[in-house]
Every structure is written in C-alpha cells, then in structure tokens.
Structure 1
C-alpha cells in the first residue's frame, strides 16, 4: 500500500475555495503547501456558495473515517458563515438563522468522522463585509436590495468566536479582526467615534483594497490570512514522510555494495 501524507484540510465556502488562486504573485494554498511540503498535503474543500447546513449535509462525502489507506487529518481549518449571514430575499436563499449557524458549526466540529481523526481544529471567523460595495454589485445583479448587511455579518463572526470558546481544543482564528484592524490602520480619515468601515452610513476606507467586491479577499487579505494561520502549522523538517535522500535506508545498502 502506498504511503499517504497526513492532511491539512481547508473546509468552507468560496473564501477558502479562492485560497488556491494565484493573484498578484501570491496564493494562500501554495504558500501553505510550500511551508509543509513533504510533511502534509494541503487539501482544498472550499465550496462556493455553501452555508453551514450545506456543509453539514455533504460532510460524510467529503471526509472518510480513519482506516486502511485513508490519510490522517492532522489539521482542519473551518471557515463558514458569510453565506449563512445572507438576508432572506426572493432572489437569495442562503440564509441560516444565527442560532442554527452556531448549532451547525458545533455539529461539524464534533462530527464522529472528524473527531475520529483527532485533528487540530481551527475555526475561522467570517471576514468583515463592505456593505457599500456589496449593495452596488447586488443592485446591478438584479437583487432588490443588498444580500448582506455588515452589522449582521459581524454578528456571525461573533458567533464563531463563541463556538470556538465553547468547544475544548478548538483554536480561534479571528480573520474579521485582523482585516478590520488593517483597514482601520490604513484609513487615515477613519473616525473611531463614527460608523464602522463598510457600513452604509460610513465609508469603505481601506476595505476597498482588502475586499474588492465587498466580500471576497484580495491577495493582500490572503497574505494577512496566511500570516494568521501559518504559525499554527508544524514546519519541522525532521517530520518528513520520506527521509532526506542523505539519510535514506538505501544509502546503507549502496555502501555495503561498494564495500
């Protein structure tokens, strides 16, 4: 049987699906794979448009229980919620109520197939939302109003924080805070006493560069995201699945033949 590599799985929606793309010379997934090459395989299971109910429904088809020939899941990164937070509209049916969102996250994290692998689990908050830009694009696409609201989306990010705190062993990755802190720092005219960035009564500020369409990450945002998660992943060169060629067992055999 072929030797399998332990896996790092990215499980979520379009934000993780897009992590594989190369933009402005950077790819989140390629950078992560480069860091752990020969130790882990980075597997992208980002599914555009999915909410937590969709993710929970397909989970048994995405993950296999441990067994012969099944790679061990060493790290699991979960990022869901941007679609759950959608507003209920005749033109959009992705909404999942906040309490159900939290319940779904807990069921994903504690699913028997997942826990059987005993992975290190990282729950990522959905990123901020630029409702100003979202509104422009949604109206142009034929929606009667914005499909997402910044304040509501922020409440789903807070719910993810709560779930991470409630389940032992789960590590929070606060992508919302990292991106918003960056946007505030790079918006000289931002007034902390005024509306938050991206809210309709305020301004886009530097979110314009971090969230070009109001929702999905720019290459700069993916770099910030990578910096958040890369320190959690083991990069020990001694933990390679196959040994360095200088220490491989066949060297002893070669030396014996030459002797």
Structure 2
C-alpha cells in the first residue's frame, strides 16, 4: 500500500497538567488512516461518499476537518500543505475534498430552560463539591506529612547534637516552607481538575450556551461551536471513572476562554448527544 502524502502530525500543547498524545493523519491509495489515541481507518469510498473529510476556509487560515463517528479532528494547513493534499487526492483518487458546509442558526436571546430543546447540560455543582472534598483529604494528608517531616528533621538535628530554641525554630520553618509548597501545588492541582470559570454549559440543536460565574450568558452558534471547543485528557485519580475528572473541555470564543472539567459519564453523554444531533463529536485539542 503506497503512501502518497506525507503524514500530517499534530502535537498539541496541554493546559497545565492536561495531556494528550500526538496523532497522524495519513491518506493512502486505499483510504484514510488516523493513528494515535482513538485511531481509526476509513475506506476510500466511505471518505468520498460520507463527508468524512472537508476543507474549512476562514479569513486567516485553511483547516482540514476529519469527522468519523465521535471523532472530530480540525488540522490547520498552510497553503503549500493544502495544494499538496489536493494535488495528491486528484492524482490518486480523482477526487477533491469539498468545503465544509456552513450553518447559519438563529441565536437565542437567553439561556435555554429545561424542556427547551436541551440535548446536554453541564453544571459546576458536582465539581465544586469534589473540589472541597479534595481539600478535606489534602488537609488530612498534609497534616500527617508535616508531623512526619517535623519528626524526621528533628531527629536528624538531635543526632548531630543540635538542640535548643534555635534548632526547634529552624526545624519548624523548614517544615512550614515544605508544607507551604505542597499546599500551593495541591491548590493548583485541584483547581486544574475541578475548577471552572463557567457555571453552566447547555447544548441545544442550535449551539452551545455558556453561563459564567457572574451570570453572563454567551451563545456559540452551531457553525462556530465545534471550531471553538476542544477536549483534552486530564489526569484521573482513583478507580471511580464516573467521579474522576478525565477530560477538560476548552471553550474559546469571542476572546473569552472557559475551562470545563468532565468525568467519563458527562463526556460520553456529550459525545452521544452531538453524534445524534450534529453527526459529529468534539475534536481533540
């Protein structure tokens, strides 16, 4: 099987501790191959007939969009990469990728209420509770860490015959500094996993509606939503997949960026709702 296009490899940056793996997009004489996390293969005829691949044009760049099941990739292309792709597909497939369709929905004036065509809803409430539970556990762990550090460092000082008020004060300062650093690291991790500047995110057939912590409502039309939203995988802790944050949804639209943590259950429900309503899922970051 001859590969006639140089693989397009995208290695994307993470937010804090959020990470993901690089992937490859390869066109062969027989079809399309996407390698990496959630990789898949699509035969040539399915690519041509099922709108798996299209070209998204904007005033600032060209993008290759690949949609297959719940997988959705959006890959920036230079003009040279675009020309090479089109020439290769014309030569070997006798086909040119079409432009992605653009939908012009009407934006609602307010956030949708229950029963108004809501397909999926995310709320910060559960994750706020998990954030506070995480702090309770962290305080308990840090307390015992402080005791252990104080005992260990104090023993070392005693072995070297360093005793008295100055020794106790020095040991106490060292313990406070170490525990203080651990507190800052813990706070950053908990904010990364459970913190969000959004209060609610609602999916309807027309687009996404985001309500921030101040009650401001922002609507993202369907045509722009999947270009403005992506998913990154977060570090999960423990063995409770429906209570651990495993995904971070990044919403960047209109100069505003929201970070939305999601467990496996919320993520699966979002992708299923998008697949049924829009025929595609949220792309990887």
TM-score strictly above 0.5: no
Q: TM-score, normalised by structure 2?
A: 0.23
Which has the larger Rg? 2
TM-score (norm 1): 0.25
Structure with the bigger percentage of helix: 1
